[in-house]
Amino acid sequence: MDLAYLRAHPEHLPTFLTHQRIRETPVSGGDICTASRLTLDDGHSVFTKSWPERAARPAPDGFFTTEAAGLRWLRDADVVPVPEVLVALPELLALAWVEPGEPGPEAAEAFGRGLAGLHRAGAQAFGAEWTGFIGALPQDNTPEEGPWSSWFARRRLLPHLRASVDRGALTGATAALVEQVVNRVGEFGGDEPPSRVHGDLWSGNLLWGADGRVWLVDPAAHGGHRETDLAQLALFGGPPHLDRILAAYREAWPLADGWRERVPLHQLHLLLVHTALFGEAYAEAVSSAARAALRAPGRATVEQ
């Protein structure tokens, strides 16, 4: 199998893998899926991810095809590097291989400008036309016109808050703090038309390439708020040269007044995803983000 044959017959890839007709090398690929590098007969490499064989449950319906739809949508904007989708089947996803490289300030600045261009490409509505996932969790992508603040509370914060409480990851006090944020979300300002966002843009989903560019991978792509991508980027220590990324972004497309104060609000979404997925280890981060959002200038004080 060479790259031309794979593009023409993507449905044949599982058969070739089953019969070990392709050289396969395990690579790191995140917390959920099994990832491999395939070496084809013509020397091209391909990145694949599949649901672990020993997983307690099968892959959710549409899990890989949803990611493929999001990658294609981001790639269609043609302003920031996104790997080509080669195969999108219910059981696996295969992408063009991106050779890893070292982070650099020039790549960071180019990425910041490109990310601004991606967001400017926009979306027809908040949400998306495809089923939503973030990690292994379902995420409601039902398209809505907005406003952003009420959409964000209803479709992003509340579902993951409920899942976190049901799991026992959040105490009643922390859940009450998040509910205060939800109830006051209209006070935070910053409403904008929907941007074309990655949706899960922590630093682990940036791939610094050997070609001197920063590539986007593993999206939960949808129409959302551009500040959410930027706030997520700063979580968990952030990527190298984050200051250069943000400076280049703001030069290309300035942010609305108060964006710094809204960072905890936007980060709250991904932190709730983590309590829903991984449990109480992230509960303190959720509490801190909710308190910071409520104590931002112009916000009401936190209710005790």
Give one DSSP letter per residue of the chain, joined into a string.
--HHHHHH-GGGHHHHHHTT-SEEEEE---SSSEEEEEE-TTS-EEEEEE--TT-SSPPPTTHHHHHHHHHHHHHHT-SS--PPEEEEETTEEEEE---B----HHHHHHHHHHHHHHHHT--SSBB-SS-EEETTEEE----B---HHHHHIIIIIHHHHHHHHHHT-S-HHHHHHHHHHHHTGGGS----PPEEE-S--SGGGEEEBTTS-EEE-S---EEE-HHHHHHHHTGGG--TTHHHHHHHHHHHSPPPTTHHHHHHHHHHHHHHHHHHHH-GGGHHHHHHHHHHHHTSTTSPPPP-
Say if residue 262 is in the same domain as residue 234. Answer: yes
Whether 112 and 89 share a structural domain: no
At 233, list the tokens: 């980027």
In a domain, 146, yes or no: yes
What is the chain's mean pLDDT, rounded? 94
Both 164 and 110 in a single domain? Answer: yes
Residue 210: is its pLDDT beyond 60?
yes
Whether 112 and 55 share a structural domain: no
Residue 194 has pLDDT above 50, yes or no: yes
State the CATH number of the domain containing residue 181: 3.90.1200.10
Do 161 and 233 fall into the same domain? yes
* pTM for the structure as a whole: 0.94
Residue 170 has pLDDT above 50, yes or no: yes
The predicted structure's pLDDT at residue 304: 39
What is residue 262's predicted lDDT score, i.e. its pLDDT?
97
Residue 300 has pLDDT above 80, yes or no: no
Total tally of structural domains belonging to the chain: 2
Residue of 200, 211, 229, 243 marked catalytic = 200
Place 28 in a pLDDT band, splitting at 50, 70 and 90: confident
Residues 78 and 126 in one domain: no
| Over residues 143-148, mean pLDDT | 94
Q: Tokens 């709250």 map to which residue?
A: 268
Q: 39 has which bridge partners?
A: 23, 45
Mark which of 96, 126, 158 sits at the end of a domain: 96
Instruction: Note whether residue 274 is domain-resident.
Output: yes
Establish if 166 belongs to a structural domain: yes
Share of the chain above pLDDT 90, in %: 86
pLDDT at position 13 is: 93
Q: What is the mean pLDDT of residues 161-183?
A: 97
65 and 196 belong to one structural domain: no
Residue 200 falls in the annotated catalytic set: yes
Domain end residue (candidates: 38, 68, 96): 96
148 is a domain residue: yes
Give 38-63 pLDDT, tens digit per residue.
Answer: 999 999 999 999 988 767 788 899 99
Domain around 30: 3-96
Q: In this structure, are 161 and 204 located in the same domain?
A: yes
Same domain, residue pair 27 and 150: no
Q: What is the CATH number of the domain that holds 46?
A: 3.30.200.20
Is it the case that residue 187 has pLDDT exceeding 90? yes
Q: What is the pLDDT of residue 149?
A: 96
